[in-house]
């Protein structure tokens, strides 16, 4: 029997082709039917990120600690030798100073993290991405900056004998190196998970988190040199010196690194919304050069004003206040424009019959979304989870439609749009999606119902007796004579008790 000719191998199955198209435009891959959670975790990039990236950050932090321990002990020994008597701090004294300085640096870091978590309101960035940026800025960027700055300072001159070498490196080299180190994570995230970065505020938030973490680690090094040096020199108060340095770097000029890195973030966000390859290259580069220039101006202010520390600090405060106020004004303007964009793009799906007519109005307003979340929180975890799913799907759907309009996403976005619409349809029955007539407090939350619910909860928490167990006897009333215990079986009444 003759055999039929072999069938030519297909170039790509529809599933493989769809996965490739989505990967090229930064969209999530379609779900594979029959794949378990373990197999899905192995195919998820975040799993390997947790396995490789965070241990790497811990290792780099340990390397940074070793480098700064050697540098601090050496610089303090040289400073005390010039004062007349060489004194080197021990490793135990250095570690004690590290703990004390890290506590002060954590104050500025906590303030910065709170502010950046607060401004990330339109489409909240994933918590894992925020943690990645924090670890990148505090470990990877610091290690890279320390290594390159030390190498360049050695090329410019021996920093131990030539003080101008460190000044030149701080003004002309450190701004470019540090801004590159802090902003590299933005470029990597824009390439790997750009589908999760749908707004410029998200990119600015990630840049600020990386910069604040970088600044916290850098501040620890400044605090260490100040505190340990003052502790080794007779007649100086190390606590007062440390507080003065914390006031200068941790409170008055904490905005420096976040403000500079924001310039790079704006360039990256502008590039992600443009389909031109030329703009995608030039915009991040322009933002990076702007950030390095502002950083250079910040570091060079002390050299420009010389010994007049008051004038230099006044200039920095005016410079920083102007930049921060300008960014805040731009943030609120951008917040309103992003709300209009969400409403307009959701209206496209209303005209096509996929969404309710009220959806663009409800989900384009920040306070209306907050009202839905608060009301869902008081109605139970199932309602809250479904409401969060609806809001996230709505915002992603609006920005996906905007990306299709801008030309940065092709026909592969239509398939993802259908998935998001299915998520919204399935969650509507449980979640909240309408604010008109909605009360944050449920209508059945009356005082009588709350008391009844608390009574049922207390009764449920009380320990239950096992079936067949004898209930405990009530104590006898006052004045009742207590009868002696019954005699043992087989022993006559009145017989003597045997002990032992």
CB 207 within 8 A of CB 182: yes
Given a cut of 90, whether residue 387 has pLDDT beyond it is yes
pLDDT of residue 136: 94
Give the burial class of 490: count Cβ atoms within 10 A of its Cβ; 0-12 exposed, 13-18 middle, 19 or more buried: exposed
- What letter would DSSP give residue 139? I
**CB-based contact 261:179 (threshold 8 Å):** yes
User: What's the half-sphere exposure (Cβ side, CA atoms, 13 Å) at 99?
Assistant: 5
CA 307 from centre of chain = 39
- Mean pLDDT across 218-232: 88
Average pLDDT over the chain, rounded to an integer: 80
Residue carrying the six token digits 């040289």: 78
- Region 368-383: mean pLDDT is 90
State residue 461's pLDDT score.
78
Q: Are 301 and 315 in contact (CB under 8 A)?
A: yes
Question: Does 497 have pLDDT greater than 50?
Answer: no
Q: How far apart are CA 393 and CA 356, in angstroms?
A: 14
Q: From CA 124, how far away is CA 133, in angstroms rounded?
A: 15
**What is the model's pLDDT at position 260?**
92
Longest dimension (CA), the chain: 111
* pTM of the model as a whole: 0.76
pLDDT at 496: 46
d(CA 56, CA 291): 27
pLDDT band, very low/low/confident/very high, at 494 (cuts 50, 70, 90): very low
Q: Structure tokens of 10?
A: 């297909």
Q: Is 431 in contact with 383 (CB distance < 8 Å)?
A: yes
CA distance 305 to 302: 5
Could you count the other beta carbons within 10 Å of the beta carbon of residue 415? 13
CA-wise closest residue to 265 among 181, 379, 157, 186: 186
Instruction: Find out whether 87 and 80 touch, Cβ atoms under 8 Å.
Output: yes
By percentage, how much of the chain surpasses pLDDT 70? 78
Joined together, the tokens standing for residue 186 give 């933005």
Alpha-carbon torsion angle 305, 306, 309, 312, nearest 10:
20
Residues 116-144 pLDDT 10s: 988 887 677 878 889 999 999 999 999 99
Q: Among 4-8, 13-17, 209-213, 437-441, which stretch is predicted with the lowest mean pLDDT? A: 4-8
∠ at Cα 71 (70, 72), nearest 5°?
95
């Amino acid at each position: 029997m003759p055999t039929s000719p072999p069938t030519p191998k297909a170039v790509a199955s529809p599933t493989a082709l769809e996965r490739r198209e989505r990967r090229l435009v930064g969209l999530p891959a379609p779900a594979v039917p029959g794949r378990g959670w373990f197999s899905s975790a192995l195919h998820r990039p975040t799993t390997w990120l947790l396995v490789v990236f965070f241990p790497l950050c811990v290792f780099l932090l340990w390397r940074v600690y070793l480098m700064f321990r050697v540098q601090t002990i050496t610089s303090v020994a040289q400073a005390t030798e010039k004062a007349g008597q060489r004194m080197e701090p021990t490793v135990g004294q250095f570690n004690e100073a590290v703990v004390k300085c890290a506590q002060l640096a954590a104050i500025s870091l906590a303030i910065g993290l709170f502010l950046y978590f607060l401004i990330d309101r339109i489409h909240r960035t994933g918590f894992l991405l925020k943690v990645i940026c924090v670890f990148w800025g505090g470990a990877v960027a610091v290690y890279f900056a320390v290594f390159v700055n030390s190498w360049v300072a050695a090329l410019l001159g021996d920093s131990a004998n030539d003080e101008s070498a460190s000044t030149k490196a701080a003004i002309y080299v450190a701004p470019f190196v540090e801004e590159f180190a802090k902003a590299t994570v933005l470029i990597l995230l824009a390439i790997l998970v750009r589908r999760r970065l749908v707004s410029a505020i998200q990119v600015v938030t990630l840049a600020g988190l990386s910069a604040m973490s970088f600044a916290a680690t850098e501040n620890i090094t400044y605090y260490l040199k100040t505190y340990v040096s003052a502790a080794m020199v007779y007649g100086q108060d190390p606590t007062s010196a440390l507080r003065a340095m914390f006031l200068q770097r941790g409170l008055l000029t904490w905005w420096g690194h976040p403000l500079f890195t924001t310039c790079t973030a704006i360039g990256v966000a502008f590039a992600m919304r443009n389909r031109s390859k030329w703009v995608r290259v030039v915009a991040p580069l322009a933002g990076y050069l702007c950030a390095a220039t502002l950083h250079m101006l910040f570091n060079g202010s002390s050299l420009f004003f010389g010994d007049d520390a008051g004038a230099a600090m006044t200039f920095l405060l005016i410079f920083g206040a102007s930049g921060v106020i300008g960014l805040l004004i731009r943030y609120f303007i951008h917040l309103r424009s992003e709300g209009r964009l969400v409403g307009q793009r959701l209206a496209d799906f209303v005209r096509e019959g996929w969404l309710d007519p009220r959806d663009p109005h409800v989900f384009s307003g920040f306070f209306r979304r907050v009202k839905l979340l608060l009301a869902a929180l008081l109605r139970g975890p199932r309602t809250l989870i479904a409401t969060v799913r609806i809001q996230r799907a709505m915002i992603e759907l609006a920005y996906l439609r905007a990306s299709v309009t801008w030309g940065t996403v092709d026909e592969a976005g239509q398939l993802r749009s259908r998935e998001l619409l299915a998520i919204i349809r399935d969650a509507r029955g449980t979640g909240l999606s309408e604010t008109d007539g909605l009360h944050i407090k449920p209508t059945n939350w009356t005082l009588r119902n709350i008391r009844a619910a608390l009574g049922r909860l207390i009764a449920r928490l009380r320990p239950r007796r096992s079936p067949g167990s004898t209930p405990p006897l009530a104590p006898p009333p006052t004045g009742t004579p207590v009868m002696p215990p019954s005699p043992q079986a087989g022993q006559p009444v009145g017989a003597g008790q045997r002990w032992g």
